[in-house]
Amino acid sequence: MYIQESLQGDLLLLDRVAKGDQCAVGELYDLHSRLLFGLLVRILAERAEAEEVLQEVFVQAWKRAHTYDPSRGTPAGWLCGIARNRAIDRLRTRARGARTLEGVTAPLPPETPEAVASGNERHRNVHRALNSLPAEQRDLIERAYFNGATQSEMALDLGLPLGTVKTRVRTGLQTLRRVLDRAPVDQ
Amino acid sequence: MSRHDEIWGQLTGYALGELSAPVREQVQAHLAGCAECAIEVRELSLALEAVGVSSTPMTPPVSVKDRMLAGLGSQPFPQALPTTPTTLTIASGRISRPWLAIAASTVLVVGGILAVSQQRAAGLAAELRRVDANVAQLATEATTVAAQADLAVAILTASDMRRIDLQGFDASRDAAARAYWSGTKGLLIVADRLPPPPPGRIYQVWLIGTGGAGPVSAGLVRGRAGRGMLIVAPPAGVTGGTVTVAVTDEPDGGVPAPTGSKHLVGSV
């Protein structure tokens, strides 16, 4: 339910993009660039690089809009996936070092006045839902998602059995879905 | 371990995009014919989408958009029309992708059932069965509500209907509540400003006649946001000219005889 906010408009926009409408790309950018830029800065921890990748994301969306498959997620999720994949690729080209598993054991960053002022109920619902997960599940999910750490890498780095890591990640994601399904619908 | 179980264990890695190309292709081949795994992948993907959304939004410099749009101009548009199906044929008509999406997202609250391919038909069928079950449940609930509305009308228009103003006690002293009792049609009780019952407990309504029998349970009060209601046919065993209505808090599910604190009481 948390994804319903702009689904209809997004689908129409992506359809226009798939038909070659460049104005629609600009509108898509206006709707999602803040979300994607925040995501990219969080993954890359580097604003200039995040700006570069943000451009690439929308160029890729322009080229690949016709491959979007709504049965696998929302347009916003599709864009997040492109952004994450490109950012993780960049992370992996950097020397795998200190950044790999650092910085994610801290709790989620507090909501900034900017985010609060945005009135984005979806963001707040998700933030609350993530914070409701047990710390050991949330931590692994964030390491995997934001740092691109594989489950095998996390098991090795944290000295945990691979099965334990897989169970925690899977259970956390399933719980997240259930919690968000119960969250209020965005308006 | 069966092939299905083996793939099932890989689905999180698949959703996270961490599988090697050969394993990823094996998973994809399995997903084409396994609705259960296809739905699980969708659920995991939606959860991961939410993780992405958890990032604090940040405003990029205006120049980024300008550069991006300028870059588009130099890019050849790859393909005007998709090669995969983008319309769903229903009977003799065809529905365009965006409008079908609007209808599907509104009615089914599913993130789009648009590009219906043969590979996903099984997954969609399972999802539709789930929606059908929800619709059937809603229809049952609607029938119940309609029956309750009929009973309420019968109670309120009964020739022997008597109104009973209920007084609140303790935590419910500020509640406003009223009961309408007909020995032939039943009891309708409505309450406002009723505090939530204590954790693990629920409000239960009792009727006490003057015929000698003890309190008879009339049912449990359902409601939300401080409002509660109960509409029931007349319980057996309530006789006599004077009738007392009482509401107590009891263990969840109710009990045969009152044991908890009284919240509302009234007689007529």
Overall domain count for chain A: 2
Whether the pLDDT of residue B222 is over 70: the answer is: yes
Query: Are both A133 and A58 inside the same structural domain?
Result: no
Instruction: Please report the pLDDT score of residue A99 as a whole number.
Output: 45
In this prediction, residue A153 carries a pLDDT of 93
Say how many Å lie between the first and final Cα of chain B, rounded.
70
Pairing verdict, β B244-251 and B262-267: antiparallel
Q: Which of B242, B158, B160 is nearest to B207 (CA)?
A: B242
Banded pLDDT at B83 (limits 50, 70, 90)? very low
**pLDDT tens across B103-130, in order?**
444 443 444 444 445 545 666 776 777 7
- Give, in degrees to the nearest 5, the angle at Cα B230 between B257 and B169: 65
Q: Does B32 touch chain A (CB under 8 A)?
A: no
On the question of pLDDT at B101 being above 70, the answer is no
Q: How far apart are CA B47 and CA B43, in angstroms?
A: 6
Q: Does residue A77 sit in the same domain as residue A139? A: no
- Which range (A113-127, B72-86, B237-251) has the least confidence? B72-86
Provide the chain B residues 101-120 that lie in CB contact (below 8 A) with chain A. Answer: 101-102, 105-106, 109, 111-116, 120
Look up the CATH number of the domain holding residue A82: 1.10.1740.10
Q: Which residues of A touch B79 (CB under 8 A)?
A: 66
Domain extent at residue A159: 119-187
**Which element (helix H / strand E) includes B22?**
helix B21-31
Instruction: Please list, residue by residue across A43-61, b when 16 or more beta carbons sit within 10 angstroms of its beta carbon and e when fewer do.
Output: bbeeeebbbbbbbbbbbbb
Confidence band (pLDDT; 50, 70, 90) for A114? low
Q: Which of A61-70, A145-154, B59-68 has the lowest mean pLDDT?
A: A61-70
Same-domain pairing of A25 and A97: yes
CB B233 within 8 A of CB B184: no
What pLDDT is recorded for position B73? Answer: 72
* Same-domain pairing of A34 and A88: yes
Mapped onto helix, strand or coil, the DSSP state of residue B174 is coil
- B225 touching chain A per CB within 8 A: no
Tell me: do A9 and A81 sit in the same domain. Answer: yes
pLDDT at B21: 93
Residues A73 and A99 occupy one common structural domain: yes
Q: pLDDT (tens digit, 9 = 90+) per residue, B204-219?
A: 999 888 776 778 888 8
Final residue before a domain boundary, out of A114, A149, A177:
A114
Q: Is the pLDDT of residue B92 over 50?
A: no
Q: What is the pLDDT of residue A6?
A: 64
pLDDT higher than 70, residue B147: yes
| Chain B interface includes A67 (CB < 8 A) | yes
A interface mutation test: which of B68, B119, B124 has the most A CBs within 10 A? B68
A157 and A140 co-located in one domain: yes
pLDDT at B102 over 70: no
Q: pLDDT-derived band of residue B238, with 50, 70 and 90 as boundaries? A: confident
Given A94, A114, A134, the domain boundary residue is A114
Cβ-contact B190, B177 below 8 angstroms: yes
Q: What residues of chain B lie within 8 A of the CB of A174, using their CB?
A: 43-44, 47
Q: Which of A62, A89, A114 is the last residue of a domain?
A: A114
For the CA atoms of B6, B8, B13, B14, the dihedral, rounded to the nearest 10 degrees, stands at 110
- Say if residue B177's pLDDT is above 50: yes
Provide mean pLDDT across the span A2-21: 76
- The pLDDT assigned to B74 comes to 67
Domain B162-267, CATH:
2.60.40
Residues A95 and A82 in one domain: yes
Q: What is the mean pLDDT of residues B227-238?
A: 81
Question: Any long-range contacts for B83-86 (C-beta under 8 Å, 24+ apart)?
Answer: B83/A66, B84/A66, B84/A67, B84/A69, B84/B115, B84/B117, B85/B115, B85/B116, B85/B117, B86/B114, B86/B115
Task: Supply the mean pLDDT for chain B.
Answer: 78
Evaluate if residue B170 carries a pLDDT over 70.
yes
The pLDDT score that the predictor gives to residue A185 is 43
Average pLDDT of span B143-155: 82
CA distance B119 to B29: 9
* Cα dihedral value A125, A129, A131, A135, nearest 10: -160
Token pair recorded at residue B143: 């029938």
ipTM above threshold 0.95:
no
